[in-house]
A and B are shown apart, each in its own frame.
Chain A
Amino acid sequence: MDVEAVLRAVLILGGVGLAFGVLVALAHTRLKVYEDPRIEGAVERLPGSNCGACGFAGCRAFAEGLVEATAQPAGCTQLGADGIATLAAYLGVEAGTAVKRVARLLCAGGANVAVQQAEYRGLSTCAAAAAVAAGGKGCSWGCIGLADCHDACDYEAIWMDAQDLPRVVPDNCTACGDCVDACPKDLFVLMPMEHKLLVQCKSALEGEAIEALCKVACTACGRCAADAAEGLIEMRSGLAVVDYGKNELATPEAITRCPTGAIRWVEGAQLPDTAPLAEMVTT
C-alpha cells in the first residue's frame, strides 16, 4: 500500500479542515452581533401566541420593542396584571398603562328579531353566503350568523348564541383583530372598554324601512342625539354615529328613549348573558 498517498490525503483534508476552522473561529469573534440577553428573557415571559394585538409582528418583535423602550409591558393584551408586573420587574421598567380593547359587534339582529327573507343553502360560511343575496337575511348589512368569526378566534373569546349571533367574552378577547378580518360584512370593531356608548347596527336604511326588517335596528330617529351632550352623537347615513373623541361627555341618558334598543350602554360583555360553559368546552 502506498503510504505516501494516504498521508497526502490526510494532510490535505486536515489542512482544509483546519483552515476553515480558523475562518469560522475568526468569524465568530469578528462578526458577532450583540443581542441583548433580556430579549430572550422577555420572550420567555410573553404568551408566545403571536396574536399581534400589541401592534408588533409577534411576541419576539414585541420583546425587542420592550428592550428598546419603544413598547411597554402593558402593551400585551394577553398577559394579565400579574404577567405584566412580572415582565416589568424582570426588565426593570415601568409597566405602563394600556387601554383594554375588545371586539364589538355592530349588529344585534339575531334570528329572533331580524327577518330572514330567504333560506340560504350551500357552503356554510359567512364568506360564501355573503355572495348569495347576503345569506337571505332581510337586512343586508346584518350578521349572517354562520360563525366565520368564531372559527377565526384563537382565544375562545367568541361563542355563537341561540340566535346565531356571535358573543364576545371581554376577558378572553385580546383585540387581535382576527374576527375583524374574518367578517365579510365588516361588523366587528376593536374598541376601548371605556367607550360605553355603542350603536349596535350598521344598516343604512332609516325609519319604517328598516323596522320592517329588524326589531333592534337603528331607525335614525335622532332621539339619542337630542338627549346626549351637544355634538356627541350625530345622525349620518341612516345611523347614529358616536364621536368617541368626546367620549368623556357620554352618559347612559342618551339611550333611554331609543325605541329599538339599538344604542346601548355597554359595561363588560356587549349583551348581558354570560357564556354557557358547555359550549366553550366544545370549541
Chain B
Amino acid sequence: MRNALRFRHGVHPPDSKTLTESLRTKRMPFPDEVVLPLSQHAGNPAKLLVQVGDHIERGDMIAAADGFISAPIHASASGVVEEIGLWPHPNGGYQDAVRIRVDPYSAQVPRARLLPEWEGLSPKELVDVVRDAGVVGLGGAAFPTYVKLMPREDTDIEVLVVNGCECEPYLTTDHRTMADFPERVHLGIRIMMKCLGVPRALIGIEKNKPDAIEAIRKTCPDDLDVEVLPLTVKYPQGAEKMLIKALLDREVPSGGLPLDVGVVVQNVASIATIAEAFETGLPLIERIVTVTGEGVAKPANLIVPVGTKLIDLINACGGLTKKAREVVLGGPMMGTAVSNLDAPVLKGTTGVVVLTARQIRAQRQYPCIRCGHCLDACPVFLNPQKLGNLAMAGRHQEMQDEHHLRDCMLCGCCSYVCPSNIPLSQLFGASRAALKRTAAPA
C-alpha cells in the first residue's frame, strides 16, 4: 500500500464548488458577435490572415502562428469580419482583435474538413494536427500544447501526468470535462502517449470529485497502463510541480521543467481538446467555462465559443444579481479581476467568478508580526515574509538573486494565510513586473 499521496505545505480554502459541480455541461447559444484577440496564448501574437468584410465559416483560420511558441486562431462562428482593431482584452488593456458579426441564419456547421484517422498517423503528423488546431493549455497559462508534445531528443520521458486536480475554488471546468466526456479524455491520453512514446499515464484527481473519478475509472482502457489516483484535497495541487510531487514523489528542480524528472503534465481539458480535434476535425474554437459565484443568477458549466464577450456569457447565465460587485477571470486564488465586460473569453479562460460585496470587502492591513504562517503555507518553500519586506523596500533584484523570486508561482497561499492581511502575492507580482521593466530596454 502506498502512502497517502500528498505534497507538503499548501492551504485549504473553502472550495465553493457546489454551485456548479453537479450541473452537466450545456451549449451556450451563439452570441451576436465574437471578438478574437490575436494574442490569446503564451508567446508571439498570431499573424492576421483576414480583412474587414470577409465572410468566414466556423473553424476557418483567421490568424496564423508566428514563430515557434505561438498558436493559430480560428473563427469560432460563421459570419462577417466587421472590424479589425483595438478591443478590450481581459488583461485590462486594449489589444488587436478581429470582431466577427455572427450570421444569425447560419447553421454554424463547419465546412467539411479532412478528418484524419489518427491511428494511421506518425507522432510527427499527430503533433502537426495539434499545432494547426491551435490547441493551447486550457488550464489558464495558454502555453501552445504542441511544443510540449515534441520534447528534445535527449530527454527520457517515463510518465504522462494528467492533471485533473482543479484545486482552484469555484471552478468545475475540468471536473465536468471528466464526468461528461470521459471517453474523450481517454482518447486524448492515448494520442498523447503515442506522440510522446510514453508507456505509462497517471491521472491525478482530487477526492472532492467522486463522480469524475468514477467516470474516468469506468472508461479506463485495458490495453494501456493508465491509472487513476485519487488525491487528498489541497491547494495548489493543480500546479504541475506540486502534482508531480504528490503523484510520483519527485521534485522538479528550481528553475527546471517537469521534463527534467521525466514527466510531461497536461491538463484534462487540453487533453480532451486534442481528442476533439481528431474526432471532429475542428480546431480549438470553443471551450468549457464555469460561470459561477453568488453574483450570477444561474451558475452553469457552458460550452462557449472562444471570443464570446463576457457580458454575453453572463447574460446567458441569467445576468448579474444585485449583489454582484467583482468579476474575476479564473478562480479567486489566482484569477484576475476584469474592468470591462466587453472583453472576450479567451482560449485560456477557465471560469468567470462573480463575487459579492461581502466577499471582497477590503480588510485592514497590519504590520507583519513574523508569525511564520506564510512559510508553512508556501508550496515551493520560499520565505514570503522576507520577500514581502524586500518588496515593500523596493529591493526587487535582491528578491530574485537571493530569495528565489523566480520560483514563486503567485499561487496566493501566503496572502491567504497572512493574519495581518498583507497582500504578499500581489507584492511579488508587482516586483516581477518591475524586474521585467528594468530588464527590457526602454
Using an 8 Å CB-CB cutoff, how does the interface string of B358-373 with A read, 1 for contact, 0 for none?
A: 0010100000000000
- One of B91, B94, B423 near A205 (C-beta < 8 A): B94
Number of A-B contacts (CB under 8 A): 64
Q: Decide if A181 is an interface residue (CB 8 Å cutoff).
A: yes
Q: Decide if A133 is an interface residue (CB 8 Å cutoff).
A: yes
Question: Please, which residues of chain A bring their CB within 8 A of the CB of B362?
Answer: 121-122
- Do B86 and A204 touch across chains, with their CB atoms under 8 A apart? yes
Q: Decide if B141 is an interface residue (CB 8 Å cutoff).
A: no
- Do B340 and A133 touch across chains, with their CB atoms under 8 A apart? yes
Q: Decide if B434 is an interface residue (CB 8 Å cutoff).
A: yes
Q: A131-B430, A184-B437 are in contact. Are A123 and B423 (CB under 8 A)?
A: yes
Question: Please, which residues of chain A bring their CB within 8 A of the CB of B86?
Answer: 204-205, 209
- Do A128 and B429 touch across chains, with their CB atoms under 8 A apart? yes
Q: A121-B362, A204-B86 are in contact. Are A131 and B433 (CB under 8 A)?
A: yes
Q: Decide if A117 is an interface residue (CB 8 Å cutoff).
A: yes
Question: Please, which residues of chain A bring their CB within 8 A of the CB of B324?
Answer: none
- Do A122 and B338 touch across chains, with their CB atoms under 8 A apart? no
Q: Complex Cα distance A127/B423, Å?
A: 13
Q: A122-B423, A123-B423, A140-B92 are in contact. Are A131 and B336 (CB under 8 A)?
A: yes
Q: Decide if A192 is an interface residue (CB 8 Å cutoff).
A: no
Q: Complex Cα distance A196/B438, Å?
A: 29
Q: Decide if B106 is an interface residue (CB 8 Å cutoff).
A: no
Q: Decide if B393 is an interface residue (CB 8 Å cutoff).
A: no
Question: Please, which residues of chain A bring their CB within 8 A of the CB of B427?
Answer: 123, 128
Using an 8 Å CB-CB cutoff, how does the interface string of A97-136 with B read, 1 for contact, 0 for none?
A: 0000000000000000000011001110101101111101
Q: Decide if A186 is an interface residue (CB 8 Å cutoff).
A: yes
- Do A128 and B426 touch across chains, with their CB atoms under 8 A apart? yes
- Closest chain A CB from B154 CB (angstroms): 37
Known: A121-B362, A140-B94. 13 other contacts (CB 8 A): A118-B340, A122-B362, A122-B423, A125-B430, A128-B429, A131-B92, A131-B336, A131-B426, A131-B433, A132-B336, A133-B339, A134-B93, A209-B86
Q: Which residues of B contact A (CB under 8 A)?
A: 86, 91-94, 336-340, 360, 362, 423, 426-427, 429-430, 433-434, 437-438, 442
Q: Which residues of A contact B (CB under 8 A)?
A: 117-118, 121-123, 125, 127-128, 130-134, 136-138, 140, 180-181, 184, 186, 204-205, 209
